[in-house]
Structure 1
Amino acid sequence: MSGHPAGTVKEKETANVVWSGSWVAERLGVELVGDGTPEGVRELRELLGLALRRNPKRAHLLVSNVLGKHVPQKPSVVYGTGFELGRRVRELLGDAEARRAVVLGYAETATGLGHAVADGLGTAPYLHSTRRPVEGVARAGGFEESHSHATSHLLLPEDPDLLAGDRGPAGADAPLVLVDDEFSTGNTVLNTVRALHERYPRSRYVIVALVDMRSPADRGRLTDFAAEIGARVDLVAHGSGTVTLPEGVLEKGQALVAAHEPEPADSAAHEAAGSPGPRAADAPGPRPCTRVDLRWPAGVPDGGRHGFTPAHRAILEPALPAMAARIAEALGDARRVLILGFEELMYAPLRLGTALEERTDAEVRYSTTTRSPVLAVDDPGYAIRTRLVFPAHDNPADGPGDRYAYNVAGAGFDAVVLAVDSAADTPELHAPDGLLTQLAAHTDHVLLAVVPSYVPSRPHTYVPERQEPPMLPEPLRGPAFSSYAPDEVGWLLQDLSDTELEAPTEEREEAIQSGGAHYAESLPVEYQPSDRYQELFKAALELSAARVARAVGTVTETVLAERGPRPVLVSLARAGTPVGVLMRRWARHRHGIDLPHYAVSIVRGRGIDANALRWLAAHHDPADVVFVDGWTGKGAITRELSAALAGFEGFDPEIAVLADPGGCVRTYGTREDFLIPSACLNSTVSGLISRTVLRSDLVGPEDFHGAKFYRELADTDVSGHFLDTVAAHFGEVVDAVDAEVKELLAADRAPTWEGWAAVERISEEYGIHDVNLVKPGVGETTRVLLRRVPWKILAKRGAGADLDHIRLLAEQRGVPVEEADGLPYTCVGLIHPKYTRGATGADGKAVESK
């Protein structure tokens, strides 16, 4: 077997170049005809080879050497070819029309080509057809591909108006640019235009193809079709020619395929043609693949299945070098590298490949897997030299079946980087007969790069019933609001940073207990930790980070198992927000998916922010929303949320929490009451955001609840440090998480409300007679010491390091700590219903008696 499949650079550099279509041409009499000149024939043969496939409609296959589908090619050549076609379209249209244009590519072969054309146009949004239906996304159209083995195409844009013709100013419509790898009979493209023109009429279409291979008879059809629909239709192609097909070519082709196809038992093996590869016989077994964390930019789609806008492009471009650097680092000293994409996922791996070319001196090639079954023949005059056959691994709608990778085996690659979207990162991919195992038999190093599968944020099956009023703004995001990265969380709050809301702790306590004010109408003065306390926080974080990571993994995996693969995380600001961010990071780390995450306000006694719920219902299916909090105490917020959601259709009141010592919820990471370090501090561990505020003179009936962004505390902010420290332990706790989740899913997790019963008992035993002044658990006790006027702390006898920060805060504020037996919590904070002389507030000043 040749070490380099037909069409690769090394073979073309030989003195006697063998055309990769000669094998088919000689046996079937099929021939490529250029423009009538020897130069034209040579250029066409450089672009195309020939192969055979088992297809009752067309036996031969034109195999492109610059598409990056069947033949590995330099990524820069593949991308540059499409980009240049886009430039030519821009010149044809002129700047004004080009700015309004929309580009539509064809699945699966031309998804990357179409995207490159859109890039060349510069400002065009891009959509490609798909054969993967997506639940909750309505079809904007569809069409049939008459000669294909898989005929049905779906159009599933996130923006239902993307394909509308009236995107320009009055009197000007948007040209539609349709991109396919070849334009042969023209049936597929004309079927598309006819279907779309009935629904979205426009005055101009441009067809783009790598090669225009129409027969003379078919060339006249385009002119007639344009006249029929009353629109201008232009064609831009990289090369042109025709295919001559002798009489009976279909039958001859099928006979050739039958003669050269292996027996069924062999077709299920690694390849249908060629040797088993250099390592298959002598290697002890498949080598494990190396995962590469791309850190794909949040909010950027994996491709054009639901639309890709210039705004997405502006985020992706500057992120490519860093992603390529991570791949290059994982590749080590590999010198010949293949970036292997996955079916419709062509553009993302292509751009990773172009960035890798610029980053490394290694020889980089690019191709993708495919649904298309093609005969492999190990001959220099045949375009498909080898093939790998493996089971489909993206749970396709048409059921299980074989998929293929061509010209990979025996090609001399010492590393293969397989790029898939997260929907395709399934057990089938990692199975003994899966693609990763088969790749490992033909290369020394297999890397897996998972691009998060994009889930439309506004599936338009939901929008008509739940359109939000225009006065509701988009979520606030960092760095303008909070120190979190913009993709980590969107705050459904209004910014009250310029409003004076802080009051001394003792004044707030007096107003709250007297009924003169609600706790959410003001803010406590932000506690500024001493050096000793900051060191204690760091020690606590170091001690419990792995424990927190395990709880994060457990609650996230439970949510994914029980609430579907694409939940919408909605954290209860602000204690729930760091947990929501960590859950989102776990989902990305473990599964390569980017979960939407928002933070909303809920206020005891006042309910959840109704306008935030309206915004969520307008942008997501309420059934997908999962509310997230840090921990449960006595379950007051759990009850508050359940009551508040009674008037809103579709939302599940269940809260997912990191720790549930009170036994108040079904979905939790642990029921142990331990120190979650984010409870030790206030805004400086929560993105520099204050508690939420609900006051009638600041929050109107159509406003979100408010909060402040403490920019001035940036020097003491440890929000990112907390997240990074916990996330660094994700890898080491995966096995423990999997075991724990398996047990939890089989267990009875019904709430026991043990904590509520204990709080009622303590309230009576200590003469408080108000459960709101009993704050159980490490997290709630910490809040008491930071924000309220505590009376005493009850600590479980023998509690250890989890209470070090509690003891320090209590010492600083002169609050006694009493050991107690029979507590279901590690500690409980008590707020006395009446002030006594000598009590101190958060600033250390004496509290006057009342």
Structure 2
Amino acid sequence: MTTVTTEKGETIDAVWSGTWVAKRLGVRLEEAGDPGSPRLDELLGLALRRNPKRAHLLVSQVLGKHVPQSPQAVYAAGHGLGERVRALLGEEAAATAVVLGYAETATGLGHCVADGLGAAPYLHSTRRPVPGVEPAGGFEEAHSHATSHLLLPQDPKLLAGDGPLVLVDDEFSTGNTVLNTIRDLHARHPRGHYVVVALVDMRSPADRERLTAFAAEIGARVDLIALASGTVHLPEGVLAKGQALVEEYERESAGGPAGSGPAGFREPGSGAAGSPAAVVRVELDWPAGLPDGGRHGFTPEHRARLEAALPALTRQLADAIGAGPGRVLVLGNEELMYAPLRLARALEESGAAAEVRFSTTTRSPVLAVDDPGYAIRSRLVFPAHDAPPATSGGTPTAEGPGDRYAYNVAGAGFDTVVAVVDSHGDTAALHAPDGLLARLAPHAGRVLLALVPSYTPPASSDRQEPIMPEPSLLPEPLRGPAFSSYAPEDCGWLLQDLSDVALEAPTEEREEAIQAGGAHYAESLPVEYQPSPQYQELYRSALTASAARIARAVGTVTETVLAERSPSPVLVSLARAGTPVGVLMRRWARARHGLDLPHYAVSIVRGRGIDPNALRWLAAHHDPADIVFVDGWTGKGAITRELAAALEAQQEAGGPAFDPEIVVLADPGSCVSTYGTREDFLIPSACLNSTVSGLISRTVLRSDLVGPADFHGAKFYRELAGADVSTGFIDTVAARFDEVAEAVDAEVKELLAADRTPTWEGWAAVERISEEYGIHDVNLVKPGVGETTRVLLRRVPWKILAQRGAGADLDHVRLLAEQRGVPVEEVDGLPYTCVGLIHPRFTRGATGADGKAVTSK
């Protein structure tokens, strides 16, 4: 028995879907994961299959293959694993990773892991040869019903890099498939790090030791991440006993109802079906040239195009389904899992149906038994429609690769089934009297056939880059006073104006969505913090006290740039924390050297990179060698790494060469070599949000708002003009330029002769703090005064770590912490003045490890 909670909040006992097999064969699952991991009986059921190598089948409840499941649950499982991989690798290594998924079951899972990892390209193996595409590798999956895998990337260099390779499968049973893959690829393109990812790790101790020995043999690191782990205990003789059980049930169901297939497997639930439904054909308006999946590679650019197209595709699908669809099943087709999953998830989120479930067809034959304690309650059998069926003496084989299956669809009570098929599979066999559509028709009120164009890479001579707008067609930068309160010459914003779009969400709701993997922080905006009179007074006092120190740092970083980078740099600030610094650097260059430096602000998003259209605009209007990227400060260096990785990828794709190193006002994390200071002190512009940044919000990247031809977005908060101090901040600091000029000259002279190689000591400190405080996610550790202030203004903080004895630089932090009921803990040995911690398991009303409520006030 297992306990489940109903939608009404009632707790009931339900029969585990592995009970039937466990009782008859003595198969037992033993937990071996962390106490906080999902239980194996929550993730897995058991079934029997016709396979001479393994009798039992672990049936995943969250894979979206054999068991119809909520699309959000399926997506979240893979996305969450991807986030764990990113945390393991760190931002710099994650930016160079490639994800490889296994056909057929893990093609969609691998896509979701790549999404969670961030900007990782994705490829999945395939069992479908494609004429004209040369394999880049292959391997065998010994226990599978169909063993041969091909790797057919459109870009032969996709697997040739030396960054981490992330291998994704639905389960690890022996680890043989992983070893075969790594052995093949390592011989072609050796690398130092592999990460193996699965929903469940069910290897024996001996299999675990074998993988460890293999890693030592090839001289590479191999890490493993899974939702849950354990062991399958199989009694002696289980294979023969399982085969005998399958044969027994086949004999009992011989001559079963139509649709049960050539082997006579029972099709439970078919008797409840109504009259066959008419099939409605829907040609989805799929973007031209966008791959239907990762068979030939799926890049971050492809992912962005899909995100932009999903709203329109979902509306098209919802219109075709019509009003009152009731329970809807979106059924993918073998390796075609990700596109149907994303459509199903978008349909679920839209509320267009009372309930949406997702699963896919498969080529794996499994016994169906209509029992609550068995994972496969029903099955539909139909001939393959995307390849000629296998034959024996000219006759299709009964259980060969010519048959395909859909499980737990018959008798499940779906009102509508949407079969999503790529155009390669839109054949006569699909529409035949015994084809998939005919098998589905008796078990749903209506059946839709949604077609996605099959993607075949063009011949190498004809290959083209994704369609992007010409730089000349991109809009000109936005400028004040129409957009921002800065003077028009002080900054040009390479953004689109989203001022009229409702994007703000309560802080707690944003935090829940971000940490649950259901939203990215750049898809919404926090409600703008309105400072109290006491806090405003603190800001004014801090500005008065630190204006000269800021002016000196501005002068130092500007003079270093002029001496080392370019005599006529083009300043490109990372909106929005970098923008006041870019304006100040421009003011210094004009005041001290008579230079009128161009200054633009662009968007960069952690996990998604810098705005590619902004880069294209800059390259078309300025010499890339003169571009200098500017930010306010470094924390642990995540954005520093993000920018470097994005620019490197852009250059490898044939784009212009930009210098990837950010220059910053303050570098307490020791992440860059060009800075104004490495002290972690209060920069007053960090105390406020839009009211010190030209009344501009943080930047927004959301697929329904930002298309392939658009700049990232932001809002202009015109209504906050009465509280705006943006120009006052600039003027106050610029007024101190003359008095610090001599000190700046001396400091720059020393810096130009010094070793300024980044040590990344801040990143090391963040990793240590993450482990010491049980957070295990560096993204939830925000070091430095500026980042801590952001945590208190925008996120749901858990606690603040303060350097023991820190003085006035933390007055505003202490005030904000007091207002929000957040404890401030003084510690020794902190390389930063302070560090803000976000609780890793935030939910409304939750409590942290110290027993304090993890909520905002």
Q: Calculate the TM-score normalised by the size of structure 2.
A: 0.51
1:453 alignment partner AA: S
Q: Measure, in 1, the Cα distance between the counterparts of 2:268 and 2:415.
A: 17
Q: Secondary structure at the match of 2:100?
A: strand
For residue 478 of structure 1, report the CA deviation from its aligned partner: 6.8
Contact 2:419 2:450 in 1 (8 A): yes
Contact 1:415 1:446 in 2 (8 A): yes
Q: Measure, in 1, the Cα distance between the counterparts of 2:431 and 2:473.
A: 40
Question: Does the alignment pair 1:367 with 2:367?
Answer: no
Q: 1:324 aligns with which of 314, 330, 333?
A: 314
**How far does the alpha carbon of each residue in 1:87-119 deviate from its partner, in whole angstroms, 9 at most, with x for none?**
000000011110110000000000000000001
Residues 119 and 21 of structure 1: CA distance in aligned 2, closer, same or farther (over 3 Å): same
Question: Does the alignment pair 1:376 with 2:368?
Answer: yes
Residues 18 and 474 of structure 1: CA distance in aligned 2, closer, same or farther (over 3 Å): closer
Q: Measure, in 2, the Cα distance between the counterparts of 1:264 and 1:430.
A: 26
Contact 2:260 2:267 in 1 (8 A): no
Percent identical: 68
Q: Measure, in 2, the Cα distance between the counterparts of 1:289 and 1:58.
A: 38
Cross-structure match for 1:314: 304
Answer with 30-39 or 131-140: which moved more.
30-39
For residue 398 of structure 1, report the CA deviation from its aligned partner: 4.8
Contact 2:4 2:14 in 1 (8 A): no
Q: 1:349 aligns with which of 340, 345, 358?
A: 340
Q: Secondary structure at the match of 1:162?
A: helix
Question: Does the alignment pair 1:153 with 2:123?
Answer: no
Residues 13 and 343 of structure 1: CA distance in aligned 2, closer, same or farther (over 3 Å): farther
1:261 alignment partner AA: E
Residues 7 and 420 of structure 1: CA distance in aligned 2, closer, same or farther (over 3 Å): farther
Q: Secondary structure at the match of 1:195?
A: helix
Contact 1:372 1:403 in 2 (8 A): yes
Q: Secondary structure at the match of 1:32?
A: strand
For residue 287 of structure 1, report the CA deviation from its aligned partner: 2.7
Cross-structure match for 1:335: 326
* Equivalent residue pairs, number: 457
Question: Does the alignment pair 1:277 with 2:270?
Answer: yes
Residues 12 and 342 of structure 1: CA distance in aligned 2, closer, same or farther (over 3 Å): farther
Q: Measure, in 1, the Cα distance between the counterparts of 2:472 and 2:410.
A: 51
Q: RMSD of the TM alignment (CA)? A: 2.7
Cross-structure match for 2:611: none
Cross-structure match for 2:98: 102
Residues 276 and 63 of structure 1: CA distance in aligned 2, closer, same or farther (over 3 Å): closer
Q: Measure, in 2, the Cα distance between the counterparts of 1:300 and 1:274.
A: 38
Cross-structure match for 1:233: 222
Residues 256 and 121 of structure 1: CA distance in aligned 2, closer, same or farther (over 3 Å): same
Unaligned runs of 5+ in 1: 1-5, 166-172, 484-850
Residues 426 and 467 of structure 1: CA distance in aligned 2, closer, same or farther (over 3 Å): closer
For residue 277 of structure 1, report the CA deviation from its aligned partner: 2.6
Runs of 4+ that moved beyond 6 A: 6-14, 36-40, 473-483
Contact 2:145 2:364 in 1 (8 A): yes
Larger Rg: 1
1:256 alignment partner AA: L
1:780-795 pair list within 5 angstroms: none
Answer with 266-275 or 175-184: which moved more.
266-275
For residue 316 of structure 1, report the CA deviation from its aligned partner: 0.5
Q: Measure, in 1, the Cα distance between the counterparts of 2:194 and 2:471.
A: 42
For residue 225 of structure 1, report the CA deviation from its aligned partner: 0.8
1:133-148 pair list within 5 angstroms: 133-148=129-144
Cross-structure match for 1:301: 291
Q: 1:44 aligns with which of 19, 40, 58?
A: 40
Residues 303 and 475 of structure 1: CA distance in aligned 2, closer, same or farther (over 3 Å): closer
1:388 alignment partner AA: L
For residue 252 of structure 1, report the CA deviation from its aligned partner: 0.5
Q: Secondary structure at the match of 1:345?
A: coil
Q: Secondary structure at the match of 1:16?
A: strand
Cross-structure match for 1:407: 408
1:103-142 pair list within 5 angstroms: 103-142=99-138
Residues 155 and 46 of structure 1: CA distance in aligned 2, closer, same or farther (over 3 Å): same
For residue 335 of structure 1, report the CA deviation from its aligned partner: 1.4
Residues 278 and 7 of structure 1: CA distance in aligned 2, closer, same or farther (over 3 Å): farther
Contact 2:268 2:377 in 1 (8 A): no
Q: Secondary structure at the match of 1:61?
A: strand
Q: Secondary structure at the match of 2:405?
A: strand
Contact 1:132 1:396 in 2 (8 A): no
Cross-structure match for 1:16: 13
Question: Does the alignment pair 1:438 with 2:421?
Answer: no
Cross-structure match for 1:292: 282
Residues 476 and 62 of structure 1: CA distance in aligned 2, closer, same or farther (over 3 Å): closer
Q: Measure, in 2, the Cα distance between the counterparts of 1:143 and 1:454.
A: 23
Q: Measure, in 2, the Cα distance between the counterparts of 1:36 and 1:84.
A: 17
1:452 alignment partner AA: P
Q: Secondary structure at the match of 1:185?
A: coil
Cross-structure match for 1:83: 79
Q: Measure, in 2, the Cα distance between the counterparts of 1:269 and 1:276.
A: 12
Cross-structure match for 1:192: 181
Cross-structure match for 2:171: 182
1:70 alignment partner AA: H
For residue 242 of structure 1, report the CA deviation from its aligned partner: 0.7
Contact 1:8 1:71 in 2 (8 A): no
For residue 16 of structure 1, report the CA deviation from its aligned partner: 2.0
Contact 1:86 1:116 in 2 (8 A): yes
Contact 1:226 1:232 in 2 (8 A): yes
Q: Measure, in 1, the Cα distance between the counterparts of 2:168 and 2:469.
A: 38
For residue 184 of structure 1, report the CA deviation from its aligned partner: 1.3
Q: Secondary structure at the match of 1:419?
A: strand
2:403 alignment partner AA: D
Answer with 175-184 or 356-365: which moved more.
356-365
1:308 alignment partner AA: F
Q: Measure, in 2, the Cα distance between the counterparts of 1:264 and 1:192.
A: 40
Residues 455 and 9 of structure 1: CA distance in aligned 2, closer, same or farther (over 3 Å): farther
Residues 39 and 51 of structure 1: CA distance in aligned 2, closer, same or farther (over 3 Å): farther
Q: Measure, in 1, the Cα distance between the counterparts of 2:466 and 2:284.
A: 26
Residues 180 and 476 of structure 1: CA distance in aligned 2, closer, same or farther (over 3 Å): closer
Question: Does the alignment pair 1:25 with 2:22?
Answer: yes
Q: Secondary structure at the match of 1:62?
A: strand
**How far does the alpha carbon of each residue in 1:186-219 deviate from its partner, in whole angstroms, 9 at most, with x for none?**
0001110011100111111000000011111111
For residue 449 of structure 1, report the CA deviation from its aligned partner: 0.5
For residue 420 of structure 1, report the CA deviation from its aligned partner: 0.7
Contact 1:321 1:359 in 2 (8 A): no
Cross-structure match for 1:499: none
Contact 2:136 2:153 in 1 (8 A): yes
For residue 288 of structure 1, report the CA deviation from its aligned partner: 2.1
Contact 1:73 1:367 in 2 (8 A): yes
Contact 1:7 1:71 in 2 (8 A): no
Residues 9 and 268 of structure 1: CA distance in aligned 2, closer, same or farther (over 3 Å): farther
1:22 alignment partner AA: T
Q: Calculate the TM-score normalised by the size of structure 1.
A: 0.51
Residues 86 and 39 of structure 1: CA distance in aligned 2, closer, same or farther (over 3 Å): closer
For residue 65 of structure 1, report the CA deviation from its aligned partner: 0.1
Contact 2:422 2:454 in 1 (8 A): yes
Cross-structure match for 1:389: 381
**How far does the alpha carbon of each residue in 1:759-781 deviate from its partner, in whole angstroms, 9 at most, with x for none?**
xxxxxxxxxxxxxxxxxxxxxxx
Contact 2:272 2:411 in 1 (8 A): no
Residues 11 and 374 of structure 1: CA distance in aligned 2, closer, same or farther (over 3 Å): farther
Cross-structure match for 1:266: 256
Contact 1:157 1:305 in 2 (8 A): yes
1:318 alignment partner AA: A
Question: Does the alignment pair 1:248 with 2:237?
Answer: yes
Q: Measure, in 2, the Cα distance between the counterparts of 1:474 and 1:287.
A: 43
Question: Does the alignment pair 1:67 with 2:50?
Answer: no
Q: Secondary structure at the match of 2:347?
A: helix
For residue 35 of structure 1, report the CA deviation from its aligned partner: 2.9
